[in-house]
Structure 1
Amino acid sequence: MMRAVILAAGAGERMKDAAGSGHLPKPLLPLLGLPLIERAILTAKKAGITDFVIVTGYQGQKIKDFCRDGSRWGVTIDYADNPRWPEGNAGSLLAALPFFDREERFLVLMADHLLEPKLLTSFLDFLQEEKNGEAKAFLAVDRRLQSVYQLEEATKVQVDEEGIIRLLGKNISDFNGVDCGCFCFSPAVLAELASAVEKGWGNLSQALSPVLDRGDLRAFQIGDCFWLDVDEPADLELAKKKLLSMLASPRDGVVARYFNRPLSLRLTSLLVSLPFKPNFYSAINGLMCLAASLLFALGFGFMGGILAQTASIIDGVDGEVARLKYQETAFGAYFDSIIDRYSDALLIGGMTAGLIFAQGGQQAALFPAFLALAASPLSMLSKEKMKNLTGKEYYPQEEGWLSYLPVNRDGRLAIIALGGIFNLEFIALWLLALMANLQVIYRLIKARGILAS
């Protein structure tokens, strides 16, 4: 797998206010629970890169003390020091040259750039396809000029019809793309930069002029992938909003999409900086559902309903924290699904017990409770079976008119909550039974159609 150089030597003058009177180097500024450089490392790791060279300069020891050897993230980190870092990022890149063999290609990333993992994965696939091509260097380019944030500040490129970059710089007027801060070089190109740096061309855009003149810099178009250059304090706020907005899941039901998710994202933005793992929030969610079920069983339906809906909102926090901090694990997903199944059963059981023992012996609640308990777990099971049948994820949005009904877990918890709040637990049980079984029947019919075709 290709290695990566991360340029982290600059002073980040425009960020010094955000850094607390300059006490933190820019790469260590926190963004939703992770310093910028940790986010860069973990993004690259998710794309399969585990070997890094970090080039340091300004307050370099603080960066080394934080990142150490990278073992806590499951990666390997070496360091290259650039004492001439004020002269520009081309010299910083040259400082990494001794770490690479003559024929070894490597990525160059910026510590202060946010990149979507899919961007890096697609870039690596593109580089594999171009492995035997003539180009010696590659650059990720965004052609969506109308949506580029602060276009006037961006490094611009002119790409010809063959995908070769002919011009590169902040001040060019004839451009059709923007540099995303993600390169691929060979050491041969890097060695060529040395003479450019000696001429005083410290900026990487300037130092690449000979490479541009030969047509050796090829563009990789990033498509709809997200990236952002975090250059000043306002960019941090934009980055937070963008990263949070990307957490919405295609699995969200109608209640989660329009009610739970907006609230859980606000909560996550506050909780993500705490040291707790996603499984902690899954466990908290389960305990809240247990408490809600006890309140229902004791006849305190209003309080039980409020707590059940609160738990439904918090149910999104574990996944959001996991995605923001790159802490997603197979066990975490499994643990969350087990907690959800127990929670559903507890809430239905607690509501039923309350109707029978605390509200005048309504034994008729047993029948809808049985139907709801039988069908509720099948929501997840049917999705997993559909995934096995089709080989792809199954999303509620694919269910047409059914996707607008409260048939998924978020909808079922909303029914439980409203039933408790308005003292309509018996009706809520029948709605749960109806919605859960309607969804199972719908998916059964759909699965038959898929298998028949």
Structure 2
Amino acid sequence: MGIQQWREALLDCEASIKEAIASLDRSGLQIALVTRADDALVGTVTDGDIRRGLLRGLTLDCPVEEILHREPMIVPPELPQEAVLQIMAANKINQLPIVDGNRQLRGLHVWHEMQAHFERTNLMVVMAGGKGTRLRPFTENCPKPMLPVAGKPMLEHIVERAKLAGIKRFLFSVHYLGHMIEEHFGDGEAWGVEIDYLREDRPLGTGGALSLIENPPPAPFLVTNGDVMTQVGYGDLIDYHVAHGAVATMAVRNHELENPFGVVSTNGLDITGFEEKPIVRSHVNAGIYVIDPSALDCLEQGKHCDMPTLFGRLRDQSRRTIVFPLHEQWLDVGRPDDLERAQQEPSNVR
């Protein structure tokens, strides 16, 4: 590949995790090549390395060396292209650094079919039936997913971002003012996609709406709330789910809550320690999921079920449920100030 393109993936070994994320966004190559000043390869960082670091409690200000993969697979410059492709296919990798005998980085092999250039068979289910009561009066005559951001409905942004990941098949679950959504999108032909509809007679919850799927898809499918705007790569989420052998994956956001007071630890009457304004970090549900079709057997058709309940049923059966930590921009447009933020800063959430 062109020298300038792979050099955009270079990252100094003293950089932070935040700078690694910026490098991945800048190059679009899904890998950061961590080097010393002399271009010697120290290691690599991928999106998965970052997410695993966040799960361990690391913050974006931590040094990249905390998540560095120091022994990545590499190939010498003289290796024939056919052999390189065989290695990449056998190991299911999309990037392969080219390193000479002195550990000097000479380039990067990138698998010719990147995510944006092929069509996925995975279905995407969008929950678009809520009443949006917290967004009144905006939702009195307009379903929440149809509220405009940057000149078009939020739901259009979701469809267009999914298309970037090669997703062409959609199911919209509709209820409140659902006819407006159906009249706008129809069968999806105008957007170059296929759209069908799940029609809820009454609110069933996210899991309950999935029980209305008559013909379960053959592959894991995405589920997203219709009011969630994000820069996440939907294809990355699907690949992560499959790679970890999960039956259900939930995207989560890091949430920090700072205690405004100094906390005193005690043992009976005795003071054992002090902590000034401690921060409690937790993961919160981001409203985006990947579900294996086999999980649908935990649902009763037409019965109410929310997603935490579905995940709980799967865990009770000892079936693997996992989290996908988000570091991308994300906004749940549930309140008027959220809508105002999305309208004022659309580039952050699309």
- 1:38 is matched with 156
Return the offset for 1:188: 1.9
Gaps of 5+ in 1: 149-173, 247-323, 325-453
Return the offset for 1:67: 0.8
Q: Where do 1:18-97 residues align within 5 Å?
A: 18-19=138-139, 22-85=140-203, 87-95=204-212, 97=213
Q: Which has the larger radius of gyration?
A: 1
Return the offset for 1:45: 1.0
Structure 2 residue 336 is the aligned partner of structure 1 residue 218: no
Q: Structure 2: which amino acid aligns with 1:121?
A: G
Structure 2 residue 238 is the aligned partner of structure 1 residue 124: yes
> Between Structure 1 and Structure 2, how many residues are aligned?
208
Return the offset for 1:237: 1.2
Q: Where do 1:14-413 residues align within 5 Å?
A: 14-19=134-139, 22-85=140-203, 87-95=204-212, 97-101=213-217, 103-116=218-231, 118-130=232-244, 133=245, 135-142=246-253, 144-146=254-256, 176-194=282-300, 198=303, 202-213=305-316, 214-222=318-326, 224-244=327-347
Whether contact under 8 Å (2:329, 2:348) holds in the other structure is: no
**Structure 1 residues 189, 212: closer, same or farther in 2, change over 3 A?**
same
Return the offset for 1:82: 1.2
Q: Provide the C-alpha distance between the structure 2 equivalents of 1:74 and 1:230, rounded to a whole number of angstroms.
A: 26
**Structure 1 residues 90, 243: closer, same or farther in 2, change over 3 A?**
same
Return the offset for 1:57: 1.0
Q: From the two aligned structures, give the one with the greater helix fraction.
A: 1
What is the DSSP-based 3-state SS (H/G/I as helix, E as strand, rest coil) of the residue aligned with 1:55?
Answer: strand
Q: Provide the C-alpha distance between the structure 1 equivalents of 2:205 and 2:243, rounded to a whole number of angstroms.
A: 32
Instruction: Give the percent of matched residue pairs that are identical in Structure 1 and Structure 2.
Output: 29
Q: Provide the C-alpha distance between the structure 2 equivalents of 1:119 and 1:38, rounded to a whole number of angstroms.
A: 16
Structure 2 residue 124 is the aligned partner of structure 1 residue 4: yes
Return the offset for 1:10: 1.2
Q: From the two aligned structures, give the one with the greater strand fraction.
A: 2
Gaps of 5+ in 2: 1-119, 259-279
Q: TM-score, normalised by structure 1?
A: 0.43
Q: Provide the C-alpha distance between the structure 1 equivalents of 2:126 and 2:348, rounded to a whole number of angstroms.
A: 26
- 2:21 is matched with none
Return the offset for 1:203: 2.4
| CA shift digits 1:285-322 (9 cap, x unpaired) | xxxxxxxxxxxxxxxxxxxxxxxxxxxxxxxxxxxxxx
Q: CA RMSD in A?
A: 2.5
- 1:340 is matched with none
- 1:165 is matched with none
Q: TM-score, normalised by structure 2?
A: 0.55
| CA shift digits 1:34-67 (9 cap, x unpaired) | 1011111111111211110111111111110011
